[in-house]
Structure 1
């Protein structure tokens, strides 16, 4: 396994790329060729956090450095598992190469603001994974993978999709997509650093990595009880980052404005396709030129004119209203927004009912192994902190329902009766 060039480079390389936070990312010639490709260089123009910089102006980092950070962590995870004889026996050279490539290229299909657009689940907005498949299996990247590596582009895509039949591949996939995967471990710390807040960095990532355990009897990723505190702190880091950064009220306002603008353009496939193929500057220009509601110019214009919240609740404060909103998909919420606008006597585009995505963002379905007894338990059983933060606190408090209106309408009073009537 140590014959893999990138693992050798991790132990000492004269060629590296330096990114914040004082990270020297070792790059081999074949990795550098992928990084220099047009598809990968495009990530320099795809912001990592989108509207977060409306609140935290230094959060201007991109998918480019995040992808390098995830690649670096992939090498560190593999180095850790090399001390496990069962891992060395059961995981093949090819599987490690696929994992390294998947880590480096996992975000190559992103476009600006793609996650808010994907959260709308509209018919003509594809998932970013489709564009990742296109980027990896055609053109320059496909040629480089086929020429420089022992695996095929199709194998990398199947891995990223989770189409992995072999237990070894399934285990490696969990290193890329699980509660303590390399993606989350990088973005929590990187986003926190660039936003200028401590919330995503207050956990011991080195201790967390040292506590990862390989199960030769299954494809599960487990954590040692010795790293339980580090795991709990990572759960708390995600909780606070969502509460204070990713779903900050101002971020949700900007997100809802973007989604409303996209919704009005939902039937124009030419514009949607142009947005998906664009970089950030192009995206904003296309949207402002195409928007008939004026919302895009409020959002991306020279002066910031974000919508203001005139109503806010959560499952704990008013479960009836919150649950009424959860019964609707995005189209249903837009219909309810128009109904509420009529009740308030304003134009339809002047009211946006915003609800956070319904999927669990801080789910921690993991197992903890006691190093002395060998006892294996669910993380939620061992740690009441995780159970409370990842379920009750997050779903009941962090996820909120809001009504946003233009600043000139912020004096409008709206009561729960009108909200319920609109959502009926």
Structure 2
């Protein structure tokens, strides 16, 4: 049975809707999509926050991967509906179901505080997404196989960007895709930031398929341009916020210390759900047992650890007392960073645990990347123009990494006066540390403080 025929037979007698603060209503017309949403693997996404540690900076950012995944599905559904109405010659009807399923399931493999967790335990959420889809025995796999034995492979190939139809792949993963369209608007809504606002309805009006992928009508250039600028602003103002990164570093060092203690046989209290990750012997079932609540429970227990470092870091994380940071120029200032780390290490701190460098950078748009498909505008005669050729604003952002490098240290080193009694015993070291600081950045104290 073809996917198109299955999709027609699989229609619900009454359309199901989910009320959504961003898209108003999310419409589900097919039993298979509703059954995918009801699986335990998809429901787990309710327990994983979309923005990780950014919730500690923007208190409204309590939304989940679940709501984001529904949003990506809804945007994709609107696009596919429009393609079927307006471009039946360019769009293959058989691609509808695989596109909608891939949109819904694209974030299935995210773990607790995903990016920080991934760095410590060397996991990959995209690999877990495909594993969940392809592994016999998962509820997701069983539902997808109702279409055909090969259908899970088709959906997974969209996630891995190996699907034969470039239109399908670009709708889910490209420099302007349904994933980014939803998370920019959703994250802007819940953080209260206006930077992520762009004219989504206009973009959905001018998007169109062509033989080699997805393009946008030329007259919609300014809406696409606004999307690129909004993405740039959200990364600079929200995703790379120093306070969020401070909480991320706190969590990173906390998990690093817990893993270190486990390997030494000294982790107490132990937390069995994390043992497979400390031992690097985890399975898919082990991974699916984890969510934000599980990890926070472990951290809560570790506040009572006999290890002073693990206990302190756990309390810092739970009570929102993150590391503070200074910006520096990577390469040029590396020797200054090491000097400051040594000063921290001279006090009561282990510098490998209580200092950390963190770099955040992003390419808002780049037409030169071989791994990324350029954004194309389609003129009235059908010819394509790459976006930065038509937009001076996008051209100014294109190809340039934006972000910064920061050194994170315990907050008392960046306070105007010593408040920690234990640190006050080392006034000389503290004063030496202050010589390296000017306006939230690291400087060489032996050079002119004006920035020479």
Matched, 1:207 2:202: yes
2:374 maps to: 366
- Contact 1:7 1:75 (C-alpha < 8 Å) held by counterparts: no
Distance 1:14 1:229 in 2: 35
Matched, 1:389 2:397: yes
How many residues in Structure 1 have an aligned counterpart in Structure 2? 384
2:276 maps to: 270
Closer/same/farther in 2, CA of residues 37 and 264 from structure 1, 3 Å limit: same
- Contact 2:246 2:323 (C-alpha < 8 Å) held by counterparts: yes
State the Cα deviation string for residues 350-376 of structure 1 (Å, max 9, x = none). Answer: 32222115x635446534335334442
Closer/same/farther in 2, CA of residues 298 and 205 from structure 1, 3 Å limit: same
1:422 maps to: none
Query: Does the residue aligned with 1:258 lie in a helix, a strand or coil?
Result: helix
* Normalised TM-score (structure 1): 0.80
1:229 to 205, 222, 229: 222
Matched, 1:154 2:153: yes
2:169 to 161, 173, 187: 173
Distance 2:131 2:230 in 1: 34
Shift of 1:278: 1.3
Closer/same/farther in 2, CA of residues 416 and 377 from structure 1, 3 Å limit: same
Closer/same/farther in 2, CA of residues 221 and 14 from structure 1, 3 Å limit: closer
2:132 maps to: 135
- Contact 1:97 1:149 (C-alpha < 8 Å) held by counterparts: no
Closer/same/farther in 2, CA of residues 388 and 63 from structure 1, 3 Å limit: same
2:357 to 338, 342, 353: 353
Whichever structure has more helix as a proportion of its residues is: 1
2:298 to 256, 266, 286: 286
Distance 1:56 1:6 in 2: 43
Unaligned segments of structure 2, at least 5 residues: 264-274, 368-372, 416-432, 437-441, 446-452
State the Cα deviation string for residues 295-338 of structure 1 (Å, max 9, x = none). Answer: 5414432x3211122x214xxxxxxx32458xxxxxxx9x9977
Unaligned segments of structure 1, at least 5 residues: 314-320, 326-332, 419-424
Distance 1:370 1:142 in 2: 38
- Contact 1:97 1:150 (C-alpha < 8 Å) held by counterparts: no
1:253 to 229, 246, 258: 246
- Aligned pairs for 1:110-129 within 5 A: 110-118=110-118, 120=119, 124-129=121-126
Distance 1:7 1:253 in 2: 51
